[in-house]
């Protein structure tokens, strides 16, 4: 696990975009796992900028989003379909046939639908690079506390904490969704490389538990300790509860010296 400490959102977005862009250039037909949320806005902004400069081609990339709220149509302004279209897909040349986002409008046969999403990932050869955020309770995707480490894409009931966090994005009087379709932890762990971004003091406890705490279903992101190639990119506030910050700085310095390709 590599921990990259950056000052703020801008540096995090630029670093993450650089790593994603490098992966696309090395493998133009990359299978890319995508995430939503405020931290991701800067990442997509930088990727769009690279594309418009002519230095990044997404025409052969296949994408799979982590999750979507149950009950929200794609056109809903708070759906993740809408977020991805506004922040990324409307500005780059990803083939629409290669874009996969869970369908929040399905009714019944959830297991069958989620099995088909897993099958689409397998058909694409598996996810090469998965982008992640993290919730205050340590969830990745919408894998709330007590989620199985071996879980697959499925319908998931959201915790009250997650619903409260999400309520600020919805209009007054509009109920925050109670369920979502999400990739499972087991699904996420099958990605060949994982990149997790976190900013702000509110995420600091979850970040510390994920990196330095025990592996536990109470903090789904702690399962990332089992993965061979995970990079956390976090700001000073999100890193504030880490006990080994000096060591992470030293590791980063040696990584830049001995294996610079990992940072570019």
- Catalytic residue ranges: 67, 137, 139, 144
Query: Terminus-to-terminus CA distance in the chain, angstroms?
Result: 16
Sheet hosting strand 67-69, strand order edge to edge: 67-69, 179-182, 154-157
3-state secondary structure of 43: helix
Q: Give the span between the Cα atoms of 220 and 143, in whole angstroms.
A: 6
Q: Give the span between the Cα atoms of 193 and 264, in whole angstroms.
A: 14
DSSP conformation class of 230: E
What tokens were used for 226? 């089992």
The residues, any chain, with a CB within 8 Å of residue 100's CB and separated by 6 or more, are 62, 63, 64, 65, 117, 120, 121
């Amino acid at each position: 696990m590599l921990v990259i400490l950056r000052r703020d959102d801008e540096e995090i977005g630029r670093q993450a975009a650089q790593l994603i862009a490098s992966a696309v250039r090395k493998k133009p037909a990359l299978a890319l796992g995508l995430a939503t949320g405020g931290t991701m806005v800067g990442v997509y902004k930088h990727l769009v900028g690279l594309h418009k400069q002519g230095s990044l081609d997404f025409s052969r990339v296949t994408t799979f989003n982590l999750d979507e709220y149950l009950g929200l149509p794609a056109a809903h302004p708070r759906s993740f379909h809408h977020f991805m279209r506004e922040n990324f897909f409307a500005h780059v040349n990803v083939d629409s046939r290669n874009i996969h986002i869970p369908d929040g409008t399905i009714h019944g046969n959830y297991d069958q639908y989620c099995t088909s999403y897993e099958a689409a990932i397998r058909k694409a050869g598996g996810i090469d690079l998965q982008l992640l955020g993290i919730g205050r309770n340590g969830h990745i995707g919408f894998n709330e506390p007590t989620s199985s480490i071996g879980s697959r894409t499925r319908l998931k009931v959201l915790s009250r904490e997650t619903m409260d966090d999400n309520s600020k994005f919805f209009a007054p009087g509009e109920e925050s969704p109670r369920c979502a379709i999400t990739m499972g932890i087991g699904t996420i762990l099958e990605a060949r490389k994982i990149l997790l971004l976190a900013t702000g003091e509110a995420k600091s406890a979850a970040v510390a538990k994920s990196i330095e705490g025990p592996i536990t279903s109470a903090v789904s992101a702690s399962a990332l300790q089992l993965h061979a190639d995970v990079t956390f990119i976090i700001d000073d506030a999100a890193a504030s509860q880490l006990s080994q910050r000096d060591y992470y700085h030293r590791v980063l310095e040696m990584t830049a010296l001995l294996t610079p390709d990992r940072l570019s």
